[in-house]
Amino acid sequence: MRSKMSISLTLVFFAFLGCRTLVRCAYQDDPFYYDKFPDGFLWSTATSSYQIEGGWNSSEKGENIWDRFTHTCCHIEDNSTGDVACDSYNKIQDDVQLLKSLGVSHYRFSISWSRIMADGTNATIKSGGIDYYNRLINALKKANIEPMVTLYHWDLPQALQDIGGWENELLVGYFNEYARTCFKRFGDRVKLWLTFNEPFVVVWVGLGFGAHAPGISDRPGEAPYKAAHTIIKSHAEAWHTYDNEFRSTQKGRISITLDSDWKGPKDPNSADDKAASERAMQFKLGWFANPIFKNGDYPDVMKELIANKSAEEGRSTSRLPEFTESEKLRIKGTFDFFGLNHYTTQLITTQYRSDKKPNYGSDMDAKESQDPSWQRAGSSWLYVVPWGLRALLNWIKDNYGNPELYITENGVSDRNASLQDDHRVEFYRNYINNVLKAIKKDGCNVKGYTAWSLMDNFEWAAGYTEKFGLHYVDFSDPARPRKAKKSAEFYKQLIKDNGFNAPTSASAPTVGPRHRASSVLFMVVTLLVKFLM
């Protein structure tokens, strides 16, 4: 028995030779998996208000920080603005038609705060803005599409930025009032809410290095932490408002959407790289997820590292603010599910930096790089690494008790106008297949998937140069016509099949030699092990 056992183990060892670790091998070289998603799996696609609506000054809408940012030279790559964007403010029926054609069960969009409260407070509620969202929600319900609504997708009313924006804790109260207004006005029909979209990007890109509105970059070691603190409290208060005042009658669910890359160890056999990878994950996802999904507080490694650096800088307190004990209790557990946006992966090693200026980016003592073999996309930061999503889903499962999870964004950009977007078809096919593996093979509790985006739109600092759409939009035509790309047809079929049908032999997809070799080896080993045991 023992010798049989050791023979089997040796065989298994040799089967995995050539892969750098079991885990990496399992994810990276695991062959394509044909199966269905569980019944009731939610299929969705997404947009956000500033990126598609236009109508920037219609119906008494107030100015927001993206209006201000794009109207001030020269923050946007192509000097464009979201003044008109996809003109969705005037094209509800067109958008709903695209969604119907895709066959999605859900549509994730966001509400523009300054469209319904011009200066961000309930003193300036605008009926024109409320009407717009009522018409959109009603059109979706009529088409049998459930709305999933984000309250804050980056377009803060300018009047609130003028009093300090997210660095000012008064915003906790203003956000709560705004959220309450939305629950009151729309909650009879909206059953899925997200408070914030990607707070990491809000505080780091907007208030750390300033490539996004409001373009603040003078205190990258302080402003992001301070703003994140306000956002986490704002999320918690809005969750409690829903829980206390609306849940029993409206029976919906509410959470937050966090963005995370997979930050894996560069060398999976190096203990130091593994520690660096874990640090980087805690600084990125744990920053927001640890308080909300775990224990009401920031990750220990963040608290310790930033406190140490702050002391070295001669400060009497840490640059990372502290929650009081009662705040921790108020924040912990303020979720009904985990909302996740994911696009890409990096490889992490340790790097100690001694930037003159304290900086979130260097606080984590980590450096990221990419594997040269990874395919690139239209955005400089986006490398196509499908197995990274599966690794991330497993990390979330292991760190936060396998919460019910909705993927609220996933997609890929290009800079070409072709409707033949084969690279996007491949992206979706492979990323979604890794979601399926995470569910079926690893037991991750994923309940839904959202493709970003329904259509090409205003891609923030990249303007209209980077396109993420399932549908092409002609921005030179005042009518903003939409056209389905090949990826829209692919997504439609995938939704219809609720997964991947096994190929008939005639249409078997080509498998790379490495995949084929490892699957054959795997089969041989499995047979041998079975035979020997």
- By CB under 6 A, name the binding residues for ligand NAG: 57, 73-74, 78-79, 83, 122, 173, 177, 304-305, 308, 377-378, 414, 416, 418, 420, 423
Answer whether 151's CB lies under 8 Å from 239's CB. no
At closest approach, how far in Å is the CB of 213 from ligand NAG?
17
Report the residue number, 57 or 101, with the smaller CB distance to ligand NAG.
57
At closest approach, how far in Å is the CB of 299 from ligand NAG?
11
At closest approach, how far in Å is the CB of 522 from ligand NAG?
30
At closest approach, how far in Å is the CB of 297 from ligand NAG?
16
Report the residue number, 44 or 81, with the smaller CB distance to ligand NAG.
81
C-alpha span between 291 and 193 (Å, rounded): 19
Report the residue number, 364 or 494, with the smaller CB distance to ligand NAG.
364
Phi and psi, residue 355, nearest 5°: -55, 140
Q: How many CA atoms lie within 13 A of 194 on its CB side?
A: 32
Report the residue number, 117 or 392, with the smaller CB distance to ligand NAG.
117
β-partners of residue 407 are: 340, 449
At closest approach, how far in Å is the CB of 378 from ligand NAG?
5
Report the residue number, 78 or 398, with the smaller CB distance to ligand NAG.
78
Answer whether 389's CB lies under 8 Å from 435's CB. yes
Neighbouring CB atoms inside 10 A of 137's CB total 22
β-partners of residue 368 are: 348
At closest approach, how far in Å is the CB of 13 from ligand NAG?
35
Cβ burial of 489 (10 Å; 0-12, 13-18, 19+) is middle
Q: How many CA atoms lie within 13 A of 235 on its CB side?
A: 34
Residues with Cβ < 8 Å from 250, sequence gap 6 or more? 183, 187, 188, 191
**Nearest Cα to Cα of residue 45 among 428, 415, 465:** 428
Choose, from 222, 409, 459, 466, the residue flagged as catalytic: 409
Report the residue number, 336 or 363, with the smaller CB distance to ligand NAG.
363
Residue 130 CA: distances (Å) to CA of 47, 178, 184, 198, 300: 18, 12, 11, 24, 43
Report the residue number, 394 or 410, with the smaller CB distance to ligand NAG.
410
Report the residue number, 338 or 427, with the smaller CB distance to ligand NAG.
427
Is residue 409 part of the annotated active site? The answer reads yes
At closest approach, how far in Å is the CB of 481 from ligand NAG?
20
Q: Tell me the DSSP string of 90-115.
A: G-HHHHHHHHHHHT-SEEEEE--HHH
Answer whether 363's CB lies under 8 Å from 312's CB. no
- Whose CB is nearest to ligand NAG? 414
C-alpha span between 154 and 201 (Å, rounded): 9
Reduced to 3 states (helix: H, G, I; strand: E, B; else coil), residue 496 is helix
Residue 312 CA: distances (Å) to CA of 90, 283, 318: 55, 20, 10
At closest approach, how far in Å is the CB of 3 from ligand NAG?
47
Q: Tell me the DSSP string of 203-219.
A: HHHTTTS-SSTT---S-
β-partners of residue 60 are: none
Report the residue number, 153 or 279, with the smaller CB distance to ligand NAG.
279
At closest approach, how far in Å is the CB of 307 from ligand NAG?
7
Does the CA dihedral 95-96-100-106 come out positive or negative? positive
Answer whether 250's CB lies under 8 Å from 183's CB. yes
Residue 511 CA: distances (Å) to CA of 14, 16, 373, 427: 22, 18, 17, 15
At closest approach, how far in Å is the CB of 416 from ligand NAG?
4
Report the residue number, 99 or 377, with the smaller CB distance to ligand NAG.
377
Question: How does strand 471-473 pair with strand 482-484?
Answer: antiparallel
What is the number of residues in the chain? Answer: 533
Q: Which residues are annotated as catalytic?
A: 409
